[in-house]
């Protein structure tokens, strides 16, 4: 059966989307699914994995950084060179980069020096599992050893739950390693009988010569290192062995590592399979099944067969399926080109509760189609097919069709739309697999002007039939996209010009910090390579306004309520301690960039000193010939955060510096 499917697949040319760069203003996406388990992958290699309504891996919509997903790191043990199977998460530019998206798989091909790699991603049609095979070819003249390491942050919770409080959700995830099958397991302890039980497993199998034993890691703090991000993970940059840690690790990940030896001109293949199920025994049985190196070809052939059957059942051709994938891109990552004008968006305050009168919750992304002519009913028909296709791909969205035809005695357009919507609703499967989304038909003449504006403001995608067919509008969108300007590397000084800081006499000094000024301040001194085990923060506030700041300068600001009315985001991440508020310093002559605090740009070996007092925090740093002092506080009564930056030139020459303040706005409980 599998062999026959593979032969037929080879005879039918696939319909592909091809990309040659990971850099897009909005990440380009692709959805793979067996109608229960779904994978979303971007051209850069990020994305998510979901099972029914459970987010297996952690993901956030971040069109700028696109830094969430399941990744495969590569490290040449001879040279120490580190890169990844996709552009993310390492951000290493490839000598050559190609991405192909077809209905049954995604493929990323890149060349880096003497290495050529191909990553293929498939969702199994038989089981709730995804299979990622990376093929590495040594184009050099000598044998090389290559570390191949998987990495994914575990969620194992509904997406809304994970977004609401990820640190709390992490507390209930436990991991274990089963040496008999080489499987890494993760499960979420149930907090109530209503919660579903979910188990996840990952196994790796190698086609080629291996070196050393299998290594694994489930503690994110150990993998990344305190104060590091996934792009600079110490487990990869330093090449240190994984710690083989399992249990209640507080911040769970799944990471497996194998080292392969690749001869000149040779190719090794490493297959990582992620499996999900309701019981431990079930995922262990599947883990044993997916430990066979032939599993990828079987999964690929059966996935191709299933996609052909699914498209035939929905009456969708391969070209139309690719069109629906491109439109889904705007549902996953908001795209200004398919949103209304800024005039409409700024017309009034959003009141989502007004949607409830029409039975629309507003909890799901909304695609709004405005139809004003009977001859444009095909646009609505095609959008309804797209909605069925998205549900099959486990993408939840509401579709609203707005009849904008002026009221008249004849209601031919309304009758046609009602028939279309009725038929589509009958074809929708029940919400048994986790995909949600409804279809709504509204008449513009029965809506207030305010409600019509609200629908456009809150919709992810607004389609106007007068702008052409669905294909024409989506194609026009793709043509508007241009690659953003390339990122320039941060310039480093040819020679260091550190400025010594004054000596501090501290009480109860513990190697990182101690008390000063008779206990009125706590001072941390971060020398080269030193970091506090966890963020050491100061809460600075008056009764109506405040902020927190850590010893590294990270934090967030709020007004009235620190959860419901955040002005800037709080990462609640004790490992990376990332911040939505940053001050940058730049030498306009040498183009060097640094920050007055230890994050986001750490400039070792010059030390960073943080002084937390009651109602204020001070930071001291001396590098690049500049002595920096940053004082932050909140006045006793006014709703304002004051940051006073003092710069002292100790370089012995005139300097031209720029200071840039950066803030990511939340203005609510979530971005």
pLDDT digits (tens, 9 = 90+) for 446-499: 998 889 999 999 999 999 998 888 998 888 776 655 555 556 566 666 667 888
**Where in the chain are all domains bearing CATH 3.40.50?**
325-480
Fold of the CATH domain 325-480:
Rossmann fold (3.40.50)
What per-residue confidence (pLDDT) applies to 595?
Answer: 96
Exposure string for 303-334, b = 16+ CB within 10 A, e = fewer: bbbbbbebbeebebebebbbbbbbbbbbbbbe
**Per-residue pLDDT tens over the stretch 551-565:** 999 999 999 999 999
**Per-residue pLDDT tens over the stretch 341-388:** 888 888 766 677 888 888 998 889 999 999 998 888 999 999 999 999
Rounded to two decimals, the pTM is 0.92
Q: What's the CATH architecture for 2-314?
A: Distorted Sandwich (2.70)
SS3 115: strand
**Per-residue pLDDT tens over the stretch 131-148:** 999 999 999 999 999 999
Quick one: average pLDDT of 159-172?
Answer: 92
Asked whether the beta carbons of 177 and 213 are under 8 A apart, the reply is: no
CA 402 to chain centre: 33
- Nearest to 185, CA basis, from 103, 112, 281, 98: 281
Task: Write the DSSP symbol of residue 62.
Answer: -
Quick one: average pLDDT of 629-646?
Answer: 97
**Per-residue pLDDT tens over the stretch 230-273:** 999 999 998 899 999 999 999 999 999 999 999 999 999 999 99
**Per-residue pLDDT tens over the stretch 108-127:** 999 999 999 999 999 999 99
Partner residues linked to 131 by β-bridges: 122, 273
Q: Kindly write down the DSSP assignment for every residue of 315-376, as one continuous string.
A: T--HHHHHHHHHHHHHHHS--GGGSPPHHHHTSS---GGGGGGGT----S-EEEEEE-SGGG
User: Torsion angle, CA of 215/218/223/224, rounded to 10 degrees?
Assistant: 160
Fold of the CATH domain 513-663:
Beta-galactosidase; Chain A, domain 5 (2.70.98)
**Where in the chain are all domains bearing CATH 2.70.98.40?**
2-314, 513-663
Quick one: average pLDDT of 75-98?
Answer: 97
Distances in Å between the alpha carbon of 419 and those of 223, 282, 422?
55, 44, 5
**Per-residue pLDDT tens over the stretch 501-520:** 888 889 999 999 999 999 99
What per-residue confidence (pLDDT) applies to 525?
Answer: 96
């Amino acid at each position: 059966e599998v062999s026959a499917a593979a032969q037929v697949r080879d005879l039918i040319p696939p319909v592909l989307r091809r990309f040659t760069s990971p850099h897009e203003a909005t990440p380009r996406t692709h959805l793979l699914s067996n109608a229960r388990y779904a994978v979303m992958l971007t051209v850069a290699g990020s994305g998510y994995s979901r099972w029914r309504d459970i987010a297996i891996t952690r993901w956030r919509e971040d069109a700028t950084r696109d830094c969430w997903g399941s990744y495969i790191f590569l490290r040449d043990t001879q040279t120490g060179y580190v890169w990844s199977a996709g552009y993310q998460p390492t951000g290493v530019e490839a000598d050559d980069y190609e991405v192909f998206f077809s209905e049954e798989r995604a493929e990323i091909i890149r060349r880096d020096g003497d290495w050529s790699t191909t990553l293929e991603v498939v969702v199994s049609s038989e089981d709730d599992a995804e299979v990622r095979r990376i093929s590495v070819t040594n184009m050099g003249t000598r044998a090389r050893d290559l570390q191949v390491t998987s990495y994914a942050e575990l969620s194992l919770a509904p997406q809304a739950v994970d977004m609401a409080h990820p640190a709390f959700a992490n507390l209930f995830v436990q991991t274990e390693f089963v040496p008999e099958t080489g499987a890494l397991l993760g499960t979420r302890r149930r907090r109530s009988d209503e919660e579903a039980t979910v188990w996840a497993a990952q196994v790796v199998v190698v086609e080629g010569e291996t070196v050393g034993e299998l290594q694994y890691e489930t503690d994110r703090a150990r993998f990344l290192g305190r104060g590091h991000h996934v792009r600079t993970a110490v487990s990869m940059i330093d090449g240190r062995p994984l710690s083989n840690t399992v249990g209640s690790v507080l911040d769970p990940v799944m990471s497996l590592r194998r080292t392969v030896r690749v001869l000149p001109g040779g190719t090794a293949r490493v297959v990582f399979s992620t499996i999900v199920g309701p019981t431990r025994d079930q995922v262990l049985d599947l883990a044993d099944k997916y430990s066979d190196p032939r599993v990828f070809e079987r999964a690929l052939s059966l996935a191709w067969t299933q996609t052909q059957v699914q498209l035939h059942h929905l009456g969708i051709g391969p070209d139309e399926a690719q069109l629906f994938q491109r439109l889904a891109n705007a549902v996953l990552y908001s795209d200004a080109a398919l949103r209304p004008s800024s005039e409409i968006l700024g017309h009034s305050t959003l009141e989502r509760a007004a949607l409830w009168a029409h039975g629309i919750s507003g909890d799901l992304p909304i695609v709004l189609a405005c139809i004003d002519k009977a001859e444009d009913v095909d646009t609505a028909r095609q959008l309804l097919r797209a909605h069925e296709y998205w549900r099959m791909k486990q993408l939840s969205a509401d579709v609203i069709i707005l009849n904008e035809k002026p009221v008249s005695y004849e209601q031919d357009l309304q009758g046609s739309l009602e028939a279309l919507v009725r038929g589509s609703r009958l074809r929708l499967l029940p919400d048994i697999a986790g995909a949600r989304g409804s279809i709504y038909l509204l008449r513009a003449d029965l809506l207030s002007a305010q409600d019509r504006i609200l629908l456009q403001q809150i919709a992810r995608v607004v389609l106007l039939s007068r702008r052409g067919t669905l294909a024409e509008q989506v194609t026009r969108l793709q043509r508007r996209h241009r690659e953003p300007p390339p990122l320039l590397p941060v310039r480093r000084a040819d020679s260091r010009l550190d400025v010594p800081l004054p000596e501090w006499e501290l009480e109860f000094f513990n190697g990182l910090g101690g008390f000063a000024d008779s206990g009125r301040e706590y001072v941390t001194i971060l020398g080269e390579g030193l970091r506090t085990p966890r963020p050491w923060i100061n809460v600075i506030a008056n009764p109506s306004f405040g902020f927190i700041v850590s010893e590294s300068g990270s934090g967030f600001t709020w007004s009235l309520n620190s959860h419901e009315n955040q002005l800037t985001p709080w990462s609640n991440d004790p490992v990376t301690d990332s911040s939505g508020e940053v001050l940058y310093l730049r030498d306009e002559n040498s183009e060097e960039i640094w920050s007055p605090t230890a994050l986001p740009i750490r400039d070792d070996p010059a030390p960073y000193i943080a002084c937390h007092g009651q109602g204020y925090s001070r930071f001291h740093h001396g590098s690049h010939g500049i002595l920096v002092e940053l004082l932050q506080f909140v006045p006793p009564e006014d709703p304002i955060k004051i940051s006073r930056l003092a710069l002292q030139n100790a370089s012995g020459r005139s300097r031209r510096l720029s200071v840039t303040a950066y803030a990511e706005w939340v203005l609510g409980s979530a971005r």
